[in-house]
Structure 1
């Protein structure tokens, strides 16, 4: 699964890295959070968690463009703030999104909650990397349960990641017709089996699309399920590195670049080196 990631790019970096034509991150959309998001949505967030609004890249006709021009306008690549945790259009309660932060690649096109979005509403989720918690095979915590060590996974070449995602629209039918905040636009991150090495941390990982696949993934005219499925196939192992970090990331209110600092090996207790399988500090 992917339950936390680092969205560290500032808006200008995101627009350049993902060749965005329209920055629409200032467009209003409804948040599911009770309290204001911290750090504010659209700014670098080193501890992105479900229910937050996150920068997402998609290709779509801009709102109002068709009406203004009186004709069908071309879809363009946009950056928008969407809520992490997909809320299907038919959902009665938006809280269902808390259970839909991830979608398995193996069943994406078979599940009613995701199938239509997978062929019509695909997106890229920009990230510097993601977090997972490794269950120690030897060490216990104070409660006698297996100790969990957080790791940060990132591209070895330092490039921005584009997680494969799909998005959906949900409208609060009790809200006024012209209320722009009646809409929740939400997304889910697609996951797959973890690559060799990363599987020593967790058995799942996000689907990270290569830059060469971004155009096809975002193409709204690509609707064939088999073609969509083929884009989710892994190009093979070796793209990513993983290293241990502080348990400060465990608390969502903790944030900042220090969360990405590597934890020295002599601070580890019963953690497994992802590259070698060696148990450290056992």
Structure 2
């Protein structure tokens, strides 16, 4: 699973890197302790009317809420979506068809639990050269019907990160990991004209395996519930700069 992650790049850099149209990120800042329901940058392709789909980078609430929900919350956690059987599950089968997204991340955290002491040791998992990871995700727009039809704040973009069975290199820490897609899969995953079935999702998960297998795993100090800053990803034993 992926319950906390870091995103250290500014959104202007992401917009330039991915040649994307940008949403309103005035209230967003890079973070090293991003939690479910926090605002995250999400990359997707969409179109208006008969226009060609364009890449967009928009702020989204990290935890998908389906359009049919009456409230901006769900009865169970939706910040992650299991890739296995996703096309058959009520919560996910609509967005996975054509509302697929990429969630950029510098890295993510996972905790290993000692079976005897129950002590949890945090690890920061990231690309070896500190390159950006793009996790496979899905998105959904939720409308607040208590607000006026023309109120732009009545719409909230929500998103989730797909997970799969952990690669062998991560099994000692956790049995799940997010799905980090390689660059050759980015455009395919975002293509809204492709109606995804389970074979498509499984192929994406397979393509992500080489990326996940090469990730660097660093033990870090305990992660505070609300603290933030680049010091959170400093490996244990490494002196501060």
Q: Which TM-score applies when normalising by structure 1? A: 0.78
Unaligned runs of at least 5 residues, structure 2: none
Residue deviations 1:112-137 (CA, integer Å, cap 9, x gap): 11111001100000000100111024
Residue deviations 1:19-65 (CA, integer Å, cap 9, x gap): 233112349xxxxxxxxxxxx42x2111111111111101112xxx6
Q: Secondary structure of the residue that 2:13 maps to in structure 1?
A: helix
| Offset of residue 183 of structure 1 | 1.3
Q: Within the alignment, does 1:241 sit opposite 2:207 as a pair?
A: no
Instruction: Report how many residues are paired.
Output: 235
Aligned to 1:274: none
- 1:250 aligned to 215, 224, 227, which one? 224
- Of the two, which has the highest radius of gyration? 1
- 2:98 aligned to 117, 120, 124, which one? 120
| Offset of residue 94 of structure 1 | 1.5
Alignment root-mean-square deviation, CA: 1.8
Aligned to 1:198: 170
- Matches of 2:152 and 2:143, distance apart in 1: 10
Matches within 5 A, 1:134-153: 134-138=112-116, 140=117, 146-153=118-125
Q: Which TM-score applies when normalising by structure 2? A: 0.91
Unaligned runs of at least 5 residues, structure 1: 28-39, 67-71, 141-145, 266-282
| Offset of residue 98 of structure 1 | 6.1
Q: Secondary structure of the residue that 1:235 maps to in structure 2?
A: helix
| Offset of residue 97 of structure 1 | 7.5
Aligned CA distance change for structure 1 residues 224 and 202 (closer, same or farther; 3 Å): closer
- Matches of 2:25 and 2:76, distance apart in 1: 24
- Matches of 2:16 and 2:76, distance apart in 1: 31
The answer to whether the Cα contact below 8 Å between 1:222 and 1:228 also exists between their aligned partners in 2 is no
Aligned to 1:181: 153
- 1:92 aligned to 67, 70, 81, which one? 70
The answer to whether the Cα contact below 8 Å between 2:40 and 2:61 also exists between their aligned partners in 1 is yes
Matches within 5 A, 1:18-37: 19-26=18-25
- Matches of 1:254 and 1:26, distance apart in 2: 21
- Matches of 2:213 and 2:152, distance apart in 1: 44
- Matches of 2:146 and 2:10, distance apart in 1: 35
